[in-house]
Amino acid sequence: MELFYTTTSPFARKVRILLLESGIENQVRLVLTTVRDPDSDLLSVSPPGKVPVLRTDSGIVLSEANYICAFLDANYDEVQMLPSGNEGLDLLALEGLACGLLEGVVIWVRALRTPEHLRNPKAIALEEERVTRCLKAFDQMAASWVKNGVSFHLPHITLVCALGALSFRLPEIDWQENYPTLAEWWIQISQRESVKETIPFE
């Protein structure tokens, strides 16, 4: 299998962390690519030109991080994406919140990349408010994670990618200062090898 990725994509990072945490990273060849590039080798594989993209051994091309994670979960016993029963349902709810945070961060960043005279201040404010609400919710949850420890499942991976993208793309937003309990969990979880190996960089 081949995984097309960039070093800055939080969505590609999500899949890479899942591979590392599951111990199947050696079964996937990583292909560093480019996006928003008419000459990208990715375009001949996946017309949308977005990462991550997984090309299976049978030639099937999967895009979108959540679909790729679901495929890996269904086809590899090592991948334990979400437990069954009530714990799995709770984590599924948490995954929805983490995806909302990640989406908010990405849209916020893209909106701020627009030339200032073309920006939509209302849209930017809405995404900032969404991110703030999610960070407040996770800051409250993190108290028990720091105290009791927490398993590292898909929603925690998504949260890592969201926080990493926020720190990488909007360093002026000092979320660790404003949400110290979440920041404490972030410091702990950042020691995992899968997190350290996938830190975004240009």
21 within 8 A of 74, measured Cβ to Cβ: no
Beta-strand relationship, 53-55 and 2-5: antiparallel
Q: 97 and 27 in one domain?
A: no
Q: 126 and 46 in one domain?
A: no
Q: 66 and 14 in one domain?
A: yes
Residue 107 sits in a domain whose CATH number is 1.20.1050.10
Domain count of the chain?
2
Distances (CA, A) of 33 to 11, 46, 81, 119, 184: 14, 12, 26, 29, 34
- Which of 114, 27, 18, 21 lies closest to 70, judged by CA? 18
Collapsing DSSP to helix, strand or coil, 151 comes out as: coil
pLDDT at 191: 95
Full residue range of the structural domain in which residue 43 is found: 2-75
Mean pLDDT split into 10-residue runs, the chain, 202 residues? 98 98 96 97 97 97 96 92 81 96 98 95 97 98 90 94 98 96 96 97 94
Q: 99 and 6 in one domain?
A: no
pLDDT at 60: 97
Q: Per the domain annotation, does 167 fall within a domain?
A: yes
Alpha helices for the chain (secondary structure H): 10-22, 65-75, 85-113, 121-148, 154-169, 175-178, 180-189, 193-196
- Give dist(CA 49, CA 44) in Å, integer: 9
Q: 106 and 7 in one domain?
A: no
Q: 146 and 50 in one domain?
A: no
Residue 41 sits in a domain whose CATH number is 3.40.30.10
Residues in the chain: 202
Q: 139 and 42 in one domain?
A: no
55 within 8 A of 4, measured Cβ to Cβ: yes
Domain termination site, one of 75, 93, 119: 75
Q: 54 and 119 in one domain?
A: no
Domain termination site, one of 75, 102, 130: 75
